[in-house]
Amino acid sequence: MDIFSTNLVGIYIHGSLAFGCFNWDKSDIDFIIVTRLSPTLQEKEKLVEDLLKIDKMCPRKGLEMSLVLEEYCHDFLYPTPFELHFSNAHKQKFFENLSEYCAHMNGTDKDLAAHFTIIKQSGIALYGEKADGVFGDVPKANYLDSIKHDIENAVVEIVENPIYIILNLCRVLAYIKDDVVLSKQQGAYWGLENIPVKYARLIDKAEESYRSAEPFSMDIGDALLTDFSGYMLKQIFER
């Protein structure tokens, strides 16, 4: 990463690649870039240009990158400030006006608490210093709030995105009940052992679709999906 020279601390993989359950057809490539100081606008633009080139060779879901400062990795702040974000959701705006978007694409992100926790536990240092020396501990309350935030609209979102929501609900409840940080796939296995059996086929189908190229398809209508999400949200938010 010549863009940042000595300002670069490291590049750290999290998500399905770090957990060993990456699926080219279903997964994106998640990583965090850590720098010592805020990058210049020109450095941000060059990074995005390079990522857009790499993205052409990536899976359909693409790359998901956040650039954060070392100080917030070591001395955690929640919600966590970030300097730049890149993902499929933002690509069109990068194409429309790269400079303007890079100048304004910063802020805070609750999701980073979950990402940092996973990096600390299972992450891969793709470049630079070891993760243990860069990332401090994320308070459990912040991690829990982060993963709860990700599923708070599950009743609505489960119909459009059943695989993601079903598996995420399982791993959030697993953390609440058993204090374990799991991948989506591991969350499904936990769910099959710990969630009422009437939802077993639903969880099993979501896990099967997640690890294969097959779409999620069940002759159940929306009723079981909304029933499952309602049950899980009650377990998660009323404990």
Q: What is the pLDDT of residues 63-87, one digit of tens each?
A: 999 999 999 999 999 999 999 999 9
195, 173 contact by CB (below 8 A): yes
Q: By CB neighbour count within 10 A (0-12 exposed, 13-18 middle, 19+ buried), where does 1 fall?
A: middle
- pTM here is 0.94
| 28-53 tens-digit pLDDT | 999 999 999 999 999 999 999 999 99
Question: What residues does each domain of the chain span?
Answer: 5-139, 152-237
- What confidence score (pLDDT) does residue 214 get? 81
- What confidence score (pLDDT) does residue 1 get? 64
Tell me how far apart the terminal alpha carbons of the chain are, to the nearest angstrom.
45
For residues 136 and 134, give the distance between their C-alpha atoms in angstroms, rounded to a whole number: 7
- What confidence score (pLDDT) does residue 31 get? 99
Torsion on CA atoms 133, 119, 116, 177, rounded to nearest 10: -120
Question: Count of alpha carbons within 13 Å of 21, Cβ hemisphere only?
Answer: 19
Predicted confidence (pLDDT) at residue 111 exceeds the cutoff of 90: yes
